[in-house]
């Protein structure tokens, strides 16, 4: 398509993909959408982006970022049938992180039918130069239907300028320290303390902590699911939208949660993924036929008092937020959708009780490795900037991947991007493989969910 041209949209379910070619010195980019009535948003909830990934109506979801085949994509899912009648236009935009759009090669926006993969529209090379935000296209109502228009309008004031131009109230922190690039040091073993009861045996784990002289097993800690995350859209009288975020990379792999404001409340760790389409398999979200792939988000933990254990679906070891280990795993998900995905919650009010936490993921069934399973990890503190990163493309036959190592360093929790694929030996479980790689020292027994 050329700038200013338009095409009818033949279906209500759409996948909107922002794509570009990565490389040294190439900035990152983020897709966003604004739902407009009379040219403005009705409230801050009409802004869908990385910190507000779903519209309350369910009409738009931010699916996440993926890297594969020599390109990076950031995707929005749109269901036009759910768009409220007051909404006249949906602006499809992007913001550059760490540079300008003139430095991003191969930039395009593509609209497809997710059920069939058929292309509806594509707008390549919008002519960007020094812009830091860009309106690439828009969906708009016309004579009872919808059309897509290629726009190509740039902003030099970044995502903040674009958002405020359409009526969003933006709140940026006054003091935001840059993420540290120093990896957290290994924490030495605990010094001699009073005997600590070992964690309860579960179907797939038993902590290998030296047994105390006399100790009875502690009953399993079983609690209700953690409190739901805050709704993605802000109410009219809620706090202004925060645009800050931290993206971890190989060059800058770690960040202090305290320096980003994440010192209390809960922190949601989300894993979402996208599988390649296949000719068989069940129908996934938005009508796309996908293979049934079950990834399990897990966490090895070591507390300050020396207790060790695992939080995982195997053995129903879902953990607890208000009792040790102060980590809770949500229910199992097999879709990888960003609105659900696999979620693990950490209680930052008990940060002093953690020594280290290793978040990892295993392929439970449906795939032989992480190849073609393009995953994104987001750590969202209740207070403070979110931390996200994409996994590198998997080139080894790996069924277990270390995602992030969270270490207590001088009372501050430091998040280290791992993105490390491990290959299991014959007869060795993924959990035991991860344990050996990071020196947790636990005993493992077979388990099932």
Q: Going by C-beta distance under 8 Å and a sequence separation of 6 or more, which residues neighbour residue 11? A: 113, 115, 120
Distances in Å between the Cα of 176 and the Cα atoms of 24, 50, 96, 260, 359 are 25, 18, 19, 6, 25
Q: 189-198 burial by CB neighbour count: b if 16+ within 10 A, else e?
A: eeeeeeebeb
Question: Looking at residue 302, what is its pLDDT?
Answer: 96
CA angle 21, 255, 94 (to 5 degrees): 35
Question: Looking at residue 332, what is its pLDDT?
Answer: 54
Cα separation of the two ends of the chain: 50
Q: Which residues of the chain have pLDDT under 70?
A: 171-239, 274-292, 331-340, 448-449
Bridge partners (DSSP) listed for residue 357: 301, 406
Give how far the C-alpha of residue 320 lies from the chain's centroid of Cα atoms, to the nearest Å: 22
> pLDDT per residue over 329-380, tens digit each?
986 544 444 445 789 999 999 999 999 999 999 988 777 888 877 788 989 8
Q: What are phi and psi of 436, to 5 degrees?
A: -65, -40
Question: Looking at residue 274, what is its pLDDT?
Answer: 67
Q: Going by C-beta distance under 8 Å and a sequence separation of 6 or more, which residues neighbour residue 202? A: 220, 310, 314, 315, 316, 317, 447
Peptide bond into 323 cis (omega under 30): no
Question: Looking at residue 291, what is its pLDDT?
Answer: 53
Question: Looking at residue 340, what is its pLDDT?
Answer: 59
Q: Going by C-beta distance under 8 Å and a sequence separation of 6 or more, which residues neighbour residue 441? A: 208, 308, 435
| Contact present, 395 and 415 (Cβ < 8 Å) | no
């Amino acid at each position: 398509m050329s700038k200013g041209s338009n095409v009818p949209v033949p279906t209500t379910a759409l996948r909107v993909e922002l794509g570009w070619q990565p490389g040294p010195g190439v900035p990152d980019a983020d897709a966003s959408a604004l739902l407009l009535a009379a040219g403005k948003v009705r409230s801050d909830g009409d802004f869908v982006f990385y910190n507000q990934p779903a519209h309350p109506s369910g009409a738009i979801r931010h699916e996440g970022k993926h890297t594969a085949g020599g390109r990076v994509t950031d995707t929005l899912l749109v269901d036009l049938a759910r768009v409220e009648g007051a909404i006249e236009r949906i602006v499809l935009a992007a913001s550059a992180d760490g540079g300008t759009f003139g430095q991003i090669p191969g930039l395009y926006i593509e609209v497809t039918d997710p059920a069939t993969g058929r292309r509806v529209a594509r707008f390549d090379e919008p002519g960007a130069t020094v812009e830091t935000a860009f309106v690439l296209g828009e969906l708009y109502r016309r004579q009872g239907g919808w059309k897509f228009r290629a726009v190509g309008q740039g902003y030099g004031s970044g995502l903040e300028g674009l958002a405020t131009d359409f009526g969003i109230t933006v709140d940026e922190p006054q003091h935001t320290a840059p993420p540290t690039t120093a990896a957290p040091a290994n924490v030495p073993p605990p010094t001699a303390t009073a005997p600590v009861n070992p964690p309860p045996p579960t179907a797939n784990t038993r902590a290998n902590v030296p047994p105390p002289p006399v100790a009875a097993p502690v009953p399993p800690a079983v609690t209700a699911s953690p409190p739901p995350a805050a709704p993605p859209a802000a109410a009219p009288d809620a706090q202004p939208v925060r645009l800050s975020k931290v993206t971890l990379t190989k060059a800058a792999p770690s960040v202090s949660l305290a320096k980003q404001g994440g010192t209390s409340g809960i922190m949601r760790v989300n894993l979402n993924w996208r599988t390649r389409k296949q000719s068989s398999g069940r129908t996934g979200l938005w009508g796309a036929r996908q293979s049934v792939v079950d990834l399990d988000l897990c966490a090895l933990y070591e507390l300050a008092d020396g207790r060790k254990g695992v939080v995982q679906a195997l053995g129903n070891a879902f953990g607890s937020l208000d009792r040790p280990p102060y980590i809770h795993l949500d229910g199992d998900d097999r879709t990888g959708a960003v609105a659900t995905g696999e979620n693990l919650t950490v209680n930052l009010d008990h940060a002093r009780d953690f020594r280290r936490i290793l978040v990892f993921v295993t392929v439970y069934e449906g795939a032989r490795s992480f190849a073609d399973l393009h995953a994104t990890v987001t750590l969202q503190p209740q207070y403070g900037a979110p931390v996200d990163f994409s996994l590198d493309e998997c080139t080894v036959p790996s069924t277990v991947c270390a995602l992030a190592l969270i270490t207590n360093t001088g009372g501050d929790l430091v998040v280290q991007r791992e993105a490390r694929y491990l290959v299991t030996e014959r007869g060795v479980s993924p959990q035991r493989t991860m344990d050996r790689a990071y020196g947790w020292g636990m005993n493992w027994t077979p388990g099932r969910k």
